[in-house]
């Protein structure tokens, strides 16, 4: 990943086809914390390496949390965040779960806004569903090898222009349902957005790829029966009797897109329901027509139709194997709000620039 300052022409070439997670902007925001001094004032600096001691706690015990949110350029040139307060609140909750220092929600929002102001030229226009993906994170930096909550940490915000997370996403993805791997257990860190949760899912994710699927779908750790979440996104199921069902919170991420889709569901004639969903109900429902759609939702994934599920070596087609109408309509509805093409009746958008 380049850290040289790019010329405007180089930046425009990147913005034309950013991919996801390949490029970073010119700056970052950094603040340091110690148990004795608290937080320093966040500073905007050129993007560059962080200096860590080899004994820094994060390198040994994964004491780390992060967030993901997007900035959208509207037709008038203004740059808006989507429900950033929810990211700020979740970041603080993740900090508590990982015994990291909490950043005040307003300080989180101010740091994100400071990076956006410094790097506003990196926010693509809204065509092709491009945006600027922002990645706030906190790492435990105290150099020591004992196991305890670190007394020093660094918070930073970096960002990069983003296109679709799944290049073929709106045409549908396949999920491999793992009956062996678990992402999270009751009482664990499943609800935290922490690096360790994702690291623990990487072997399963690699297996999903090896089996020809785009991502893994995790089941609960106890019975390997109840849907949890996919590798990088929440999942929802649409039933023929008009519900939009999604697994309840607890061991899964409290996704901002998940919450937004539940809120939008009634506007699409669907009753939103948070309830345990058994994998056999989904597979049987796909076969007998009582489940009509499955889709994945997340900041990176937006709303991505799931068109096949592979479970115990058997492939089940969802619906007729094409993206379902509710997935497409809700995706369009959500992105129209995010890009300012539809009225923001829920008061979700925050203009920053
Ligand atoms: C997001 O959707 O923001 C995520 O964090 C998913 C992934 C890129 C880790």
136-189 pLDDT, tens digit per residue, is 999 999 999 999 999 999 999 999 999 999 876 688 999 999 999 999 999 999
Statement to judge: residues 334 and 190 lie in one domain: yes
Stretch (H or E) spanning 206: helix 195-210
Q: Is the pLDDT of residue 206 over 50?
A: yes
Q: What is the pLDDT of residues 96-137, one digit of tens each?
A: 999 999 999 999 999 999 999 999 999 999 888 899 999 999
Report yes or no on 343 lying in a domain.
Answer: no
Statement to judge: residues 186 and 153 lie in one domain: no
**Please, are residues 136 and 91 in contact by the beta-carbon 8 Å criterion?**
yes
Statement to judge: residues 18 and 102 lie in one domain: yes
169 vs 304: CA distance, rounded Å: 6
Angle of helix 256-264 relative to helix 84-97, nearest 10 degrees, comes to 130
Q: Where in the sequence is the domain holding 180, given as residue range(s)?
A: 173-338
- Residue 161 near ligand 1, beta carbon < 6 Å: no
- Residue 182 near ligand 1, beta carbon < 6 Å: no
- Residue 205 near ligand 1, beta carbon < 6 Å: no
Domain stop point among 129, 162, 195: 162
Which residues, 6 or more positions from 192, have their beta carbon under 8 angstroms from its beta carbon?
Answer: 65, 93, 94, 97, 98
Residue 107 buriedness (CB in 10 A; 0-12 / 13-18 / 19+): middle
Over residues 254-272, mean pLDDT: 98
Q: How confident is the model at residue 5 (pLDDT cuts 50, 70, 90)?
A: confident
- Residue 234 near ligand 1, beta carbon < 6 Å: no
Report yes or no on 19 lying in a domain.
Answer: yes
pLDDT above 90 coverage of the chain, percent: 95
Over residues 236-259, mean pLDDT: 98
Separation of CA 301 and ligand 1 centre (Å): 8
pLDDT above 70 coverage of the chain, percent: 99
Alpha carbon distances (Å) from 91 to 66, 111, 149, 197: 7, 13, 17, 15
267 vs 261: CA distance, rounded Å: 10
The mean pLDDT of the chain is 96
Q: What is the pLDDT of residues 65-84, one digit of tens each?
A: 999 999 999 999 999 999 99
Statement to judge: residues 211 and 289 lie in one domain: yes
Nearest CA, atom 9, ligand 1: 232
SS3 58: helix
Phi, psi of 351 (to 5 degrees): -75, 130
Residue 299 buriedness (CB in 10 A; 0-12 / 13-18 / 19+): buried
Which residue, among 176, 274, 278, 183, has the nearest Cα to 217 in the 3D structure? Answer: 176
Separation of CA 135 and ligand 1 centre (Å): 9
Residue 167: per-residue pLDDT? 78
Residue 123: per-residue pLDDT? 98
Residue 1: per-residue pLDDT? 53
Statement to judge: residues 190 and 310 lie in one domain: yes
- Residue 68 near ligand 1, beta carbon < 6 Å: yes
Statement to judge: residues 331 and 183 lie in one domain: yes
Report yes or no on 102 lying in a domain.
Answer: yes
Separation of CA 234 and ligand 1 centre (Å): 10
Statement to judge: residues 12 and 157 lie in one domain: yes
Statement to judge: residues 104 and 217 lie in one domain: no
- Residue 160 near ligand 1, beta carbon < 6 Å: no
Report yes or no on 168 lying in a domain.
Answer: no
pTM above 0.95, yes or no: yes
244 vs 266: CA distance, rounded Å: 9
Statement to judge: residues 158 and 18 lie in one domain: yes
Domain stop point among 134, 162, 190: 162
Q: What is the pLDDT of residues 17-75, one digit of tens each?
A: 999 999 999 999 999 999 999 999 999 999 999 999 999 999 999 999 999 999 999 99
Report yes or no on 2 lying in a domain.
Answer: no
Report yes or no on 51 lying in a domain.
Answer: yes
Please tell me the total count of domains within the chain.
2
Q: What is the DSSP letter of 56?
A: B
- Residue 215 near ligand 1, beta carbon < 6 Å: no
222 vs 219: CA distance, rounded Å: 9
**Please, are residues 125 and 73 in contact by the beta-carbon 8 Å criterion?**
yes
Report yes or no on 344 lying in a domain.
Answer: no
Report yes or no on 25 lying in a domain.
Answer: yes
Over residues 190-215, mean pLDDT: 97
Separation of CA 21 and ligand 1 centre (Å): 10
56 vs 63: CA distance, rounded Å: 10
Statement to judge: residues 198 and 327 lie in one domain: yes
Domain stop point among 97, 130, 162: 162
Statement to judge: residues 16 and 134 lie in one domain: yes
Q: How confident is the model at residue 2 (pLDDT cuts 50, 70, 90)?
A: very low
CB atoms within 10 A of CB 277: 24
Q: What is the CATH number of the domain that holds 16?
A: 3.30.470.10
Statement to judge: residues 135 and 26 lie in one domain: yes
């Amino acid at each position: 990943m380049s850290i040289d300052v790019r010329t405007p022409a180089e930046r425009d070439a990147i913005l034309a086809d950013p991919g996801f997670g390949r490029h970073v902007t010119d700056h970052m925001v950094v603040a340091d914390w110690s148990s004795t001094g608290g937080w320093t004032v966040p500073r905007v600096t050129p993007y560059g390496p962080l200096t860590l001691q080899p004994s820094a706690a994060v390198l040994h015990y994964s004491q780390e949390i992060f967030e993901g949110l997007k900035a959208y350029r509207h037709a008038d040139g203004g740059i808006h965040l989507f429900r950033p307060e929810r990211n700020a609140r979740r970041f603080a909750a993740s900090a508590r779960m990982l015994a990291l220092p909490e950043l005040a929600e307003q300080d989180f929002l101010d740091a994100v806004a400071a990076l956006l102001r410094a790097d506003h030229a990196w926010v693509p226009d809204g065509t092709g569903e491009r945006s600027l993906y922002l990645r706030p994170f906190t790492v435990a930096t105290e150099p020591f090898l004992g196991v305890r909550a670190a007394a020093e940490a660094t918070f930073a915000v970096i960002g990069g222009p983003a296109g679709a997370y799944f290049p073929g996403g709106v045409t549908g993805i396949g999920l491999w349902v793992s009956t062996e791997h678990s992402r999270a257990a009751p009482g664990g860190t499943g609800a935290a957005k922490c690096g360790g949760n994702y690291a623990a899912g990487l072997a399963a994710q690699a297996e999903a790829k090896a089996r020809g699927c785009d991502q893994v779908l995790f089941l609960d750790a106890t019975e390997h029966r109840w849907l949890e979440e996919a590798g990088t996104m929440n999942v929802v199921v649409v039933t023929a009797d008009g519900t939009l069902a999604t697994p309840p919170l607890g061991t899964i991420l409290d996704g901002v897109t998940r919450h937004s889709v539940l809120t939008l569901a009634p506007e699409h004639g669907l009753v939103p329901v948070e309830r345990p969903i058994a994998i056999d109900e989904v597979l049987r429902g796909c076969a007998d027509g009582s489940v009509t759609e499955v889709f994945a939702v997340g900041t990176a994934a937006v709303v991505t139709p799931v068109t096949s599920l592979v479970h115990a070596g058997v492939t089940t087609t969802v619906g007729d194997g094409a993206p379902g109408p509710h997935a497409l309509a809700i995706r369009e509805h959500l992105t129209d709000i995010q890009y300012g093409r539809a009225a923001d009746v829920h008061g979700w958008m925050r203009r920053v620039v």
